[in-house]
Amino acid sequence: MTGQTGPQQAGRSGGRSTRQRRAVVAELDATDQFRSAQDIHEALRRNGDPVGLATVYRALQTLVDAGEVDIVKTDDGEAVYRQCNPTHHHHLVCRNCGNTVEVTGPTVERWTERVAAEHGFHDVSHTLELFGLCPDCAVREEPGAAT
């Protein structure tokens, strides 16, 4: 052991506690925003903590699998990751600057359950994401806007 953080918390992170794994977790921990694997990969390299792209993907996958990280597919087909929040919620994402607001929707949750039940569907999950222009970006778009 070299003195890092200590190798005791390994069990929960869905795999061995390696420098790379920790780097990825740390990167996710550092922000509330959704990050793409490539984004994280680049940030890590810049941080002087280079980790292979494939390794980033594998670590992310492991974390998602372990339920520690949330994954959402953007409209571009890109996967973005974020430290998991224990409470189920959805996201209001600015399609211009990417700023994200967490929103919880008991209303929606109940609705989906009801609808699923009405149609006899079981084990139903749902994806719900809101995309729009945040206050800042909205004012910047307004002026020249038409239609």
The residue range among 7-15, 26-34, 61-69, 74-82 that interacts with a copy of itself, by the rule CB under 8 A, is 74-82
The count of chain residues that interact with DNA, using the rule CB under 7 A, is 27
**Phi, psi for 33 (deg, rounded to 5):** -75, 160
Among 28, 138, 144, 146, binds a copy of itself (CB under 8 A): 138
Report if residue 15 touches DNA, rule: CB under 7 A. yes
**Phi, psi for 26 (deg, rounded to 5):** -60, -40
Closer residue to a copy of itself (CB): 45 or 126: 126
Closer residue to a copy of itself (CB): 18 or 112: 112
Question: Could you tell me the sign of the dihedral formed by the alpha carbons of 97, 102, 107, 108, in that order?
Answer: positive
- Cα angle for residues 87, 26, 47 (degrees, 5° grid): 145
Report if residue 42 touches DNA, rule: CB under 7 A. no
Nearest to 17 by CA among 27, 28, 5: 5
Report if residue 83 touches DNA, rule: CB under 7 A. no
Among DNA, a copy of itself, none, the one that 111 touches (CB under a kind-dependent 5 to 8 A) is: a copy of itself
d(CA 44, CA 51): 7
Beta carbons within 10 angstroms of residue 44's beta carbon: 21
- Contact residues toward DNA (CB under 7 A) are 7, 10, 15-21, 36-38, 50-55, 57-59, 61-62, 76-79
